[in-house]
Amino acid sequence: MLTKRIIPCLDIKNGRTVKGINFVDLRDAGDPVELAQRYAKEGADELVFLDISATEEERKTLADLVKRVAEKVNIPFTVGGGISSVEDVSKLLHNGADKISINSSAVKNPELINDLVAKFGSQCIVVAIDAKRVNKTWKVHLVGGKVPTDIDLFEWAKEVEERGAGEILFTSMDHDGTKNGFANEALAQLSETLNIPIIASGGAGNMEHFADTFSLGKADAALAASVFHFKEIEILDLKNFLMERNIPMRV
C-alpha cells in the first residue's frame, strides 16, 4: 500500500510566512526558509510554498526564495502563485523546485496544463483548486479565493486530469483555517472520480482530522499550515498516531 504524505504549507507574502482563516485575516508565522528546515528535520514528506499575493515583483522574490530553500532542505517541495507560463516554471525548477502548482492561470488558459506537461512531465505539474459550496454545489474560485466562477469542482478536476496534470491540490475555502476538519465528502467524491493523487487542504485542527481525511476522504496526502507553524501538532507525533490507526506513513 502506498504511504500517505504529510505536507506543511507555507503561504508567502512579502517574503514572510503568513496564515489566515477562510483566506483572510493574515498573521505572521515566521521566516519561510527557517520553517522549511524545521519541517525537513521533523519528518515532513514534502513542502508547499504558495506566493499568495503573486505580483510581478514578488514572483521574483519567490524565485530567490526557492533557491534559498533548495540549498537548505532535502525533501521535495512544490511552489505556486502567479505562475502563468512555461518560462515561469522553467525558472522555478531551475532554481530548485521539484514541482510547481498552478491555479487561476490554469482556469483562464487550460491549454497551459498541456503545455507544461509536454515540456516538463506530469510528475512535476500540480493543479491547485480552491472551491467552496454555493447553493449545495462546489464552485471553483480564483485569485486566492477572491473571484467566484460558475465552474463545477468535479468537472474541472476531471478536465485537469485529462490534460495530464500529475496531482490535484484541493482546498476547501469553507474549511480553510477553521480547524474543524477537512472536506471529506468532496475529497471522497474526487477520489472516486480521478486516478491521480489528491492532496487535501483546509481544515486541519487535530490528529483525528488527518486520520479522517485519509480514511473517509481517501486523500493521498494532507496539507496543513497553522497547526504545524505554531507547533500545535508535531509531525512525528502525528505520523505515529496515524500508523497506530493502520494508515501507512514514511518515517
Q: What is the pLDDT of residues 127-137, one digit of tens each?
A: 999 999 999 99
Catalytically annotated residue among 45, 51, 88, 130: 130
Predicted local confidence at residue 122, as pLDDT: 98
Enumerate the H helices of 43-125 as residue ranges.
56-72, 86-94, 104-108, 111-120
CATH architecture of 5-244: Alpha-Beta Barrel (3.20)
Q: Kindly state the cell numbers that stand for 184.
A: 471529506
Catalytically annotated residue among 11, 51, 88, 220: 11
112 vs 221: CA distance, rounded Å: 25
pLDDT averages per 10-residue partition of the chain, 251 residues = 92 78 61 93 96 64 89 96 93 96 95 98 97 94 86 98 98 88 97 97 97 98 92 97 97 88
Catalytic, 51? Answer: no
Predicted local confidence at residue 177, as pLDDT: 78
Predicted local confidence at residue 56, as pLDDT: 52
Helical pair 111-120 and 86-94, crossing angle rounded to 10 deg: 40
Convert 137-162 to b/e letters by CB count within 10 Å (16 or more is b).
ebbbbbebbeeeeebebbebbebbbe
Catalytic, 130? Answer: yes
pTM to 2 decimals?
0.93
8 A C-beta contact, residue 120 and residue 89: yes
